[in-house]
Structure 1
């Protein structure tokens, strides 16, 4: 689960697979995202191998990275999709993911989005509130169709991750509270327009320990047995994703450990299992290539000011995340302690408060690691900056998979006067 498997130095140059990142930077203006298709496909294969014993269906969480070229890798591998908007539905379908393998999650599905998903014939809606469930039933009756439904429950399990990516604690906006679950199930069972599949959960993101999953599985097992005794027919469990990757601290969650935990806790329930990995399939496969605009000599530490900013990579500002940095050229200079910041007019535009690097000068380039997930998809044009390109490396070659979107294009959408 390390993108260093794809990154290495050859003759002093940093390569991704068989391509020099500096060579790409000579042709694609920095900053830009660059992904290894080999790293993504290797992660997909590892995930499929781990969950094969469960017969689990794998639905890629599109929100992690929704580039069409990334989605096509998922489609080619036979994965389904977990979507949270009609835009992600459109992307998944355009990439060749079959509607019968699409699950629609999310707390605020608009009526138009529910309708589009119904018309596409997706496999399942993970409903997260009683009002959403009622609206879906009404739409199905109007359209003369049936929707497969699982109820996302809130198991009240703290995944012990960052507070901004914890989703299953009491009071969360996500999921149906346990005290409302039977009301939701009754609405489904009593509706001729809805077909009950089962229950869904999602504990959060960047979880690096199996303990929260084990706890959630045991609560689900007890809950499912209780519901079956009351006559509810539960045939599916959607266990979500959130499997953490290594951001440089050596802590991550191996697919096989998660699969073994699910198997130990749920194997006797006779249900179909679905999982929704996102970050764990693409996060370690991407880098953000950036150039040092200035080297600023200040106390207590010198600062490297990059041409990439928080608008390009939001995770450090939003989650206080840290992404390790590698120079694109080995200089042999002594290692120094410095800070790494961006050009945006915000104090939070800081990638690393303190890190050790060979002394890097203005005009040299670096790569920020593990940015394949929640990087490009969260980017904005804040400070009226361009939306930066994305590149895919495959079989010793690279190609542009999203062109730069300059301000002239962005301004064309605005009405002046």
Structure 2
């Protein structure tokens, strides 16, 4: 079987991932990986609590540095494994739940309700009842939610702990758009005219979550929340906590130059000024009209110099309009507990996805396709592509007749098991140092945050991937 090899006019553009020591250890133990995929099938998600705890502690160190009351709520939606959830609670932190099932699982696992919050975008009656019965703080987003919660508390006779979600902040005369939350003015009116007079609806704090990764926008939002806190305080109403949500950047890549080069060369490829970098020259969200490009690729910013705990610290040290002190001092002076809801950033380096090669073939245009025993929903997020180089592990030596030919580098695309033309695991063209063989393993690095579970589906009746954790004794245990 003949396959396309590297050509002289094609320059490989690597995107080298940062790799945690535990991942290197697992990847170097190829017999463990082969046995695990044989036992649990392909794809297999292998994870570790070590980076998760490191990330929690890094955030805590920032809060401790500025002597802030705080709590970190792990955003459970980023990964469904209960092991992260229970470990967050063991570390004294909390869990942000986004559905009835997530909250019920946390309670069944024995997590203290004081360490749980409900931020579900749609809150059903049974979710409200579960939260109220257990004293879990509920983030209220709209009046219909509040009306439903009021009915639930009236029937149960129990008090509900409420944090109001706010949005629509003003920045330089423009409104930061969001489909979530009350305006600052509406939130103030709601507290003053309803919540403080209601026997079963207890106002405890404020909450917001901003889309994107702008530190100045977060600082503006915090400043306007503090102004609301002060306005309520003038009416003898205390705000106990301010939850500023998630969205703390993760740095996936080891080389800034590689990231910048890829972005610029992608645009050149879309303009057909160089060989394609993606399947059929997919622009990854860039719009091309009459040979002019508009916008940027709709992908996660995989390289970032300010990320995770450093991103949080930059927020806390920002100044805000109307105050002569940085945010951390404003919060400390008011004795407000600051809360955050990181998901991806707590899962940075915590997981890998391993898939087995099923076939090699050419499409009608002559592109090499390497089929994997997985589907694209099993490693997918909202980013147009996952821009990290995978690791190729050969599981069997080539025969002597194949050794010379198949040891040459090849370019190709990784495709999945759904019966769709667009069924690609990665859209980016990948350089393999030699032709993958059937049975080889492909390892995708740093997939625990949103990549494994957020969009996974069971179309074609495919089983969901098994989730196992790598222990200190180098064994694997199934997540329960």
TM-score tier (shorter):
0.7 to 0.9
Partner residue in 1 for 2:127:
113
Partner residue in 1 for 2:73:
59
Deviation at 1:232, TM superposition (A): 4.2
- Structure 2: 5+ residue runs without aligned partners? 1-16, 254-301, 318-325, 398-405
Is the partner of 2:358 in helix, strand or coil? strand
Is the partner of 2:353 in helix, strand or coil? strand
Q: Does 1:265 align with 2:327?
A: yes
Q: Give a deviation string over 1:367-415, Cα, whole Å, max 9, x none.
A: 1122112213532211211122111001033334259xxxxxxxxxxxx
Is the partner of 2:346 in helix, strand or coil? helix
Is the partner of 2:329 in helix, strand or coil? helix
Partner residue in 2 for 1:287:
352
CA contact (8 A) 2:394 2:437 kept: no
Is the partner of 1:282 in helix, strand or coil? coil
Partner residue in 2 for 1:6:
22
Q: Give a deviation string over 1:115-156, Cα, whole Å, max 9, x none.
A: 11111122x111000121122123222212212211100144
Find the aligned partners of 1:323 and 1:140 in 2 and give their Cα distance.
Answer: 48
CA contact (8 A) 1:326 1:368 kept: yes
Deviation at 1:283, TM superposition (A): 4.2
Find the aligned partners of 2:182 and 2:205 in 1 and give their Cα distance.
Answer: 13
| TM-score (norm. length: structure 1) | 0.83
Q: Does 1:142 align with 2:159?
A: no
Q: Does 1:304 align with 2:309?
A: no
Q: Does 1:371 align with 2:435?
A: no
Question: Residues 265 and 15 from structure 1, CA distance in 2 versus in 1: closer, same or farther, beyond 3 angstroms?
Answer: farther
Match of 1:197 among 192, 204, 212: 204
Partner residue in 2 for 1:216:
221
Find the aligned partners of 1:363 and 1:235 in 2 and give their Cα distance.
Answer: 56
Q: Give a deviation string over 1:210-249, Cα, whole Å, max 9, x none.
A: 3332232233233433444465432321111111223434
Partner residue in 1 for 2:84:
70
Question: Residues 2 and 46 from structure 1, CA distance in 2 versus in 1: closer, same or farther, beyond 3 angstroms?
Answer: farther
Q: Give a deviation string over 1:311-339, Cα, whole Å, max 9, x none.
A: 32232xx4313153111349994543322
Question: Residues 368 and 34 from structure 1, CA distance in 2 versus in 1: closer, same or farther, beyond 3 angstroms?
Answer: same
Question: Residues 329 and 395 from structure 1, CA distance in 2 versus in 1: closer, same or farther, beyond 3 angstroms?
Answer: farther
Question: Residues 143 and 285 from structure 1, CA distance in 2 versus in 1: closer, same or farther, beyond 3 angstroms?
Answer: same
CA contact (8 A) 1:69 1:95 kept: no
How many residues get paired? 384
Find the aligned partners of 2:168 and 2:233 in 1 and give their Cα distance.
Answer: 18
Which is strand-richer, 1 or 2?
Answer: 1
Match of 1:45 among 54, 57, 60: 57
Q: Does 1:29 align with 2:41?
A: yes
Deviation at 1:363, TM superposition (A): 2.0
| TM-score (norm. length: structure 2) | 0.73
Deviation at 1:55, TM superposition (A): 2.3
Find the aligned partners of 1:401 and 1:254 in 2 and give their Cα distance.
Answer: 28
Find the aligned partners of 1:194 and 1:177 in 2 and give their Cα distance.
Answer: 19
Q: Does 1:320 align with 2:367?
A: no
Max Rg structure: 2
Tell me whether 281-290 or 350-359 shows the greater mean CA deviation: 350-359
Partner residue in 1 for 2:414:
340
Find the aligned partners of 2:449 and 2:146 in 1 and give their Cα distance.
Answer: 30
Find the aligned partners of 1:106 and 1:187 in 2 and give their Cα distance.
Answer: 23
Q: Write the mapping of 1:73-152 to structure 2, written as runs, cut at 5 A.
A: 73-122=87-136, 124-152=137-165
Partner residue in 1 for 2:476:
399
CA contact (8 A) 1:32 1:389 kept: yes
Q: Give a deviation string over 1:140-194, Cα, whole Å, max 9, x none.
A: 2221221221110014489xxxxxxxxx942x33222345323322321121112
- Structure 1: 5+ residue runs without aligned partners? 159-167, 404-417
Find the aligned partners of 1:323 and 1:34 in 2 and give their Cα distance.
Answer: 20
Deviation at 1:285, TM superposition (A): 1.0
Partner residue in 2 for 1:173:
179
Find the aligned partners of 2:100 and 2:316 in 1 and give their Cα distance.
Answer: 31
Find the aligned partners of 1:27 and 1:157 in 2 and give their Cα distance.
Answer: 54
Find the aligned partners of 1:146 and 1:100 in 2 and give their Cα distance.
Answer: 14
Is the partner of 2:227 in helix, strand or coil? helix
Question: Residues 213 and 147 from structure 1, CA distance in 2 versus in 1: closer, same or farther, beyond 3 angstroms?
Answer: same
Question: Residues 169 and 336 from structure 1, CA distance in 2 versus in 1: closer, same or farther, beyond 3 angstroms?
Answer: farther
